[in-house]
Amino acid sequence: MQTIREDHPAGAAPRLRPEYPAALFDWLAEVCPGHDMAWDCGTGNGQAALQLVRHFRRVVACDASPAQLTFAEPHPHIDYRLAPAEDCGLREHSVDLITVAQALHWFDCAAFHAEAQRVLRPGGLIAEWCHGAPRLGDARADALLQHFCQTVVGPYWPAERRHVDSGYRELAFPFAALPAPAFSMQVEWPLARLLGHLRSWSATAACQRAGAGEADPVAVLGEQLAPLWGAAQALQTVDWPLSLRVGHLG
């Protein structure tokens, strides 16, 4: 049974989340032998599905959370479905590419990979990726941000989050691995946008509930970062390196 994902509360605004790089999907389409159907598993708000549909005739995008799917942007060639990762309902050997973006740690991994092996076409690909805490270009600002992510709110993530921190290295991958380039999400954000992103995390909400009546940890971080950030509307580079693994049926 798939655990419903909780990286962000269901009501978190999609604009507070960085976009996956288009170059990632361009590369996946280049190395994938077929372009008829892609399955985006644990689609959330459909961010990855909307990139996939540029390259594949049809995209099936599944999630176990009805609340997450309410934020998915409709598209005539994307079929959004309420379904667990371990039992998607697709036909055997019908999928050219399977993607899992920041969701694998919520799945029953062995059951999902068995389902992936069932639905992949011969030569089809599976790509799984995640990202951890954001990084800043300034060493002093980045030290403050990493302290917030790891020490202040880090203990309030669900236990499954440890697999994100390890880049999924502790999770089995029963596929023939394909070497992949390095990709990262990168944005130019003002400080308020970064703070809004951090506030949207479920771990931040849990931290605030646990410390009810104490200082808002996001506000405290904002006060610490402000002198290093510059003007209130100044844009700074925020970067999330992706941990990506790609493979095909061996």
Q: What tokens does 165 get?
A: 């921190």
At 1-39, the pLDDT tens digits run 344 444 544 444 556 679 999 999 999 999 999 999 999
Residue 11 is predicted with a pLDDT of: 44
Residue 232 is predicted with a pLDDT of: 72
Query: Is residue 2 a part of any domain in this protein?
Result: no
Residue 233 is predicted with a pLDDT of: 84
Residue stretches of the chain with pLDDT short of 50: 1-6, 8-12
Residue 249 is predicted with a pLDDT of: 83
Residue 14 is predicted with a pLDDT of: 52
CB 163 within 8 A of CB 106: no
Residue 83 is predicted with a pLDDT of: 97
Residue 230 is predicted with a pLDDT of: 85
Counted domains in the chain: 1
Amino acid identity of 78? Answer: I
Residue 239 is predicted with a pLDDT of: 96
Query: Is residue 235 a part of any domain in this protein?
Result: yes
Q: What tokens does 63 get?
A: 């999630």
Q: What is the span of the domain harbouring residue 41?
A: 14-248
Query: Is residue 72 a part of any domain in this protein?
Result: yes
> Which among 145, 167, 137, 155 is positioned nearest to 235, based on CA atoms?
137
Largest CA distance in the chain: 57
Query: Is residue 9 a part of any domain in this protein?
Result: no
Amino acid identity of 117? Answer: Q
List phi, psi (to 5°) of 241. -65, 140
Query: Is residue 5 a part of any domain in this protein?
Result: no
Residue 7 is predicted with a pLDDT of: 55
CATH number at 50 reads 3.40.50.150
Query: Is residue 3 a part of any domain in this protein?
Result: no
At 139-153, the pLDDT tens digits run 999 999 999 999 999
Q: What is the distance between the alpha carbons of residues 106 and 99, in angstroms, rounded to a whole number? A: 14
> Which among 71, 74, 81, 85 is positioned nearest to 119, based on CA atoms?
85
